Structure 1
Amino acid sequence: MSSFDYDLFVIGGGSGGVRAARVAASETGAKVALAEDDRYGGTCVIRGCVPKKLMVFASGYGVLADEARAYGWEMQDGAFDWPGFRGKLNAELDRLEGVYRKLLANAGVTTFDARAVLKDAHTVALSSGEEFTAKHILVATGGHPVRPDLPNADLGIVSDDIFHLETLPKSILIIGGGYIACEFACILNGLGVEVTQYYRGAQILRGFDDEARGLVAEAMREKGIDLHLGTNIVEMDRAAGDHSLSAAGTGSDAAAGGLHGHPAKAEGNRAGSGPVWVKSTNGGERVFDMVLFATGRDPNARDMGLAEIGVEIGRRGEIVVDEYSQTAVPSVYAIGDVTNRVNLTPVAIREGMAFVDTVFRGKPTPVDHELIASAIFTQPEMGTVGLSEEDARALEPVEIYCTSFRPMQSAFADRPDRVLMKLVVSQASRKVLGCHIVAPNAGELIQLAGIAVKMGATKEDFDRTVAVHPTMSEELVTMRTPMRTA
């Protein structure tokens, strides 16, 4: 009989933690507990992937009436009902949280709605005052959005807050150039908000293929997003006095609520509660109804007693783990965004499964972080797997097969939208090292292309595949001549 209260105690009720807990309990017979101090489902289900994707869907309908008219339909433009959408969105998130709780209960996992910290290598203390021991502890607490170190930064909102807005602003400034910044720029633009975006770098979506991200930036501008590269914010304040005379519109008093994990600062919760004056690095001064910081995320590993018991904490505050997700303390493991490895929900789930295999099934399973396909839900979407052209040519000689064109559906409607299909191929092995797609539903396309790339498909394997016509994706198997070599 075990001398511990539990075989496994999981801290964090997001996708990775829940998967590890329920599989360990239901499939290996382990006695498992889980503690979560906020909502079950974590970042992805409650304030990330799921609500964001539903907002992507909502924002795409605004252009349908115009496109439908080009195809002969008599259709009137309409207005977007944010309160109506938000109510339905919240109901869906409540439903999904209930599903997560039911999955844990059905698996026999004991759950605690409380914050958990580690007292020692085998002891967890809860904010409820209870303490439990466990043979193994798994930390899966995720991450949180951060504001820059700037006076009055609390006047701006972060991505968690978008879903709680009472009303949409008339104008918004988005700071950042990563996928979160670009996705919300497209979403809000599609919902009728006047969107300005500042990014300090030379091009948005750093780390992705240059050609692909360039096309996304071009499309964003074409759709009306006022994108400023090489630009950052240097000052911000509540709009007042002469500041209110600046260029951008002021107007709606959109109050943000429910700042998950971020207590209100001095003067209460000021974020999103009125027009904000900003000064940029190019000297410009403007007023926006709202400012959104999408300037990065940090792991949720502070004040948990980790360093005190010997767990190594990295430069960004992440929990340092080995290939088996084990920390410097043998009984403590960590998965997901709190480890700052590959911060994607399916990766956290895979890490959770590998943890169960390693610890409870006796099958040491390192996590495979190679060739992970991903999608950026801008408009159009970007799907990518493998190496960018820039990264590949730094490693070996490559051939680049690429085409960009106006797809049939939007060309018929006389819309300027363009798509991109690109393969990066090794000259030596002929393997497809990278596939990059910018197109509507690129996320769906890259999932399938990712299978081929993961299997080690060569360019000739793609060539032997008969095209599905007429589709955009047929270009992936019909490109015969390289655009360039590098």
Structure 2
Amino acid sequence: MTDVLVIGAGPAGAFAAHRAADLGARTTLVAREEFGGMAANDGPVPVRTLAHAARLVREARQLERYGITADGFGLGYGRLLVRVREVVHDIGTHSALRGRIDGLGVTVHERAGTARFVDPHTIETSRGLRLHGEKIILCTGGVSRPLTVPGAELTRTHSDAWALREVPPSMLVIGAGATGVQVASIFTAFGSRVQLFQVGPRILPSEDEDVSAVMAEAFRERGMVVRERLDAVKSFEKTPDGVRMRFSQDGAPDSAEAALVVVAVGWTADTAGLDLPAAGVQTDERGFVAVDAFQRTSVPHIFAAGDLTGRLMLVPQAAQSGFVAATNAVRGPSLPLWDQVSPIGSFTDPEYAQVGLTETEARREGDVIVATVGLDEATRSIIDDRTTGFCKLIVDRAGHQIVGCHVVGERAVETIQVAAVAMTARMRAEDLARIPLSFPTYAAVVGRAAYIAIRRLDMEAGASQHEPV
């Protein structure tokens, strides 16, 4: 019997296996398919590669504006997919984490198939592997939540979209959260006629309201049809040229048709094959595996980490929870999952990113000041002719602590890291404003917003002590 048996080799499982072995436990890691899980093979790595191609397409359209003559360009989607596979392979081959796991003596079973519990200490996989573990850590991730309406079998998921052999002439994307807008944005850049649908008042409902508004406007300017405030999706039906969706909006029936329909209405735990009742593991009301602060499930020797638990479902947070689960599996319940500043963003056009509270949340919790800088007044974005967007910094009025930051625009995901580091370090806005960030850069817009916030606070206090940066 192995000391720690880890099921799933995505970020949560990989970090769990590494941590357990590093603490001296005999560790086995079981992957349904390849090492790396969704993040490496169906998530951020291939998606970011496609998003980079979309960026290159956009930049190619700027060549003439900068005096560069080109004889035209086109997208060879088949060649792009070859590049995606190359990137996935290279990252898997050169993964430092995989090398460290092997170096620690972890037994790794790749392409083992779906695992299921036989009893609380034993699992079998669909490809015939049978393993026993004194402690077990579940890291099987999540899957797209399906729509339960007539004809839903005619739709596809984001995974299907990334696996297309050619760019569809038209596409309906149902669900305008992070996954949906990323699919819609990338395929708009590739030339698809995309319609994006959201049940609810605005796209990106978990983002700051100004982010949602600017992103919707930018998408429309790029030729995407954005439809918000749907009442409900009713059904799907096959047509000679694709799929028709029937829905209602403002109480009236309506329909839309495209060659392909992608549903991105949420994410749920991938537990279908695990047979959790055989081990006594309980799920919560949303279907995610219930865990305590130590990542323990309802069965004391079984832990869970990553998307399976329904907590913030991002790669860094999955890795963190895997580390915590493994620590407690080996040492006993001693390390609770800690709160941390968590920057979030997406590689759309334009990009958007956030860290901390939205403006609405911040005003609900306390007295704040909000400073916003438009990218149309920022030097680097003017140079690059990428002036859509803004940086919004939210500062606590009393202590001058930064409580939130939201960025829309070119390199937003990189830019937000500056605010995240400042918040983690508990820097006050004046401390951030004094940092001489390189010029001209996109990141400098965060420092500019901090300076504006402090100037306003000084004016309120009847003094001005901070020089511009």
TM value normalised by structure 2: 0.89
Q: Please tell me whether the aligned partners of residues 34 and 109 of structure 1 are also in contact (alpha carbons under 8 angstroms).
A: yes
Q: Please tell me whether the aligned partners of residues 375 and 382 of structure 2 are also in contact (alpha carbons under 8 angstroms).
A: no
Alpha-carbon distance in 1 for matches of 2:355, 2:219: 22
**Partner SS for 2:35:** coil
Q: Could you tell me which residue of structure 2 aligns to residue 356 of structure 1?
A: 326
Q: Could you tell me which residue of structure 2 aligns to residue 235 of structure 1?
A: 235
- Paired amino acid for 2:401: K
Q: Could you tell me which residue of structure 2 aligns to residue 272 of structure 1?
A: none
Q: Could you tell me which residue of structure 1 aligns to residue 435 of structure 2?
A: 465
Q: Could you tell me which residue of structure 2 aligns to residue 107 of structure 1?
A: 104
Of residues 114-123 and 423-432 in structure 1, the stretch that sits farther from structure 2 once superposed is: 114-123
Name the Cα RMSD after superposition: 2.3
Shift of residue 363 of structure 1?
A: 8.3
> In the alignment, does 2:43 pair up with 1:44?
no
Q: Could you tell me which residue of structure 2 aligns to residue 392 of structure 1?
A: 362
Q: Could you tell me which residue of structure 1 aligns to residue 119 of structure 2?
A: 120
Summarize the alignment of residues 408-423 of structure 1 with structure 2, pairs less than 5 Å apart. 408=379, 411=382, 417-423=387-393
Alpha-carbon distance in 1 for matches of 2:122, 2:437: 58
Q: Could you tell me which residue of structure 2 aligns to residue 190 of structure 1?
A: 189
Alpha-carbon distance in 1 for matches of 2:170, 2:315: 31
Q: Please tell me whether the aligned partners of residues 6 and 30 of structure 2 are also in contact (alpha carbons under 8 angstroms).
A: yes
**Partner SS for 1:45:** helix
Percent of aligned pairs with the same residue?
27
Query: Which among 8, 13, 16 is matched to residue 12 of structure 1?
Result: 8
Q: Which runs of 5+ in 2 are unaligned?
A: 458-469
Q: Could you tell me which residue of structure 1 aligns to residue 372 of structure 2?
A: 402
Deviations 1:329-375 (A, max 9, x none): 11000000000011001111111222333333568222223321111
Summarize the alignment of residues 220-299 of structure 1 with structure 2, pairs less than 5 Å apart. 220-231=219-230, 232-240=232-240, 250=241, 275-282=242-249, 283-299=253-269
Deviations 1:419-477 (A, max 9, x none): 21111111222111001111211111112321111121212222322353333433322
Q: Please tell me whether the aligned partners of residues 186 and 378 of structure 1 are also in contact (alpha carbons under 8 angstroms).
A: yes
Call closer, same or farther: CA 1:193–1:103 in 2, change over 3 Å. Answer: farther
Q: Could you tell me which residue of structure 2 aligns to residue 73 of structure 1?
A: 68
Q: Please tell me whether the aligned partners of residues 137 and 326 of structure 2 are also in contact (alpha carbons under 8 angstroms).
A: no
Task: Figure out how many residues of one structure are paired with residues of the other and give that number.
Answer: 446
Q: Could you tell me which residue of structure 2 aligns to residue 445 of structure 1?
A: 415
Q: Could you tell me which residue of structure 2 aligns to residue 150 of structure 1?
A: 149
Alpha-carbon distance in 1 for matches of 2:423, 2:145: 35
> In the alignment, does 2:445 pair up with 1:475?
yes
Q: Please tell me whether the aligned partners of residues 467 and 478 of structure 1 are also in contact (alpha carbons under 8 angstroms).
A: no
- Paired amino acid for 1:376: S
Of residues 281-290 and 81-90 in structure 1, the stretch that sits farther from structure 2 once superposed is: 281-290
Shift of residue 98 of structure 1?
A: 4.6
Shift of residue 129 of structure 1?
A: 4.1
Of residues 454-463 and 173-182 in structure 1, the stretch that sits farther from structure 2 once superposed is: 454-463
TM value normalised by structure 1: 0.86
Alpha-carbon distance in 2 for matches of 1:161, 1:352: 28
Shift of residue 408 of structure 1?
A: 4.4
Call closer, same or farther: CA 1:40–1:475 in 2, change over 3 Å. Answer: closer
Q: Could you tell me which residue of structure 1 aligns to residue 78 of structure 2?
A: 83
Q: Which runs of 5+ in 1 are unaligned?
A: 241-249, 251-274
Q: Please tell me whether the aligned partners of residues 219 and 417 of structure 1 are also in contact (alpha carbons under 8 angstroms).
A: no
Call closer, same or farther: CA 1:236–1:178 in 2, change over 3 Å. Answer: same
> In the alignment, does 2:54 pair up with 1:59?
yes
**Partner SS for 2:62:** helix
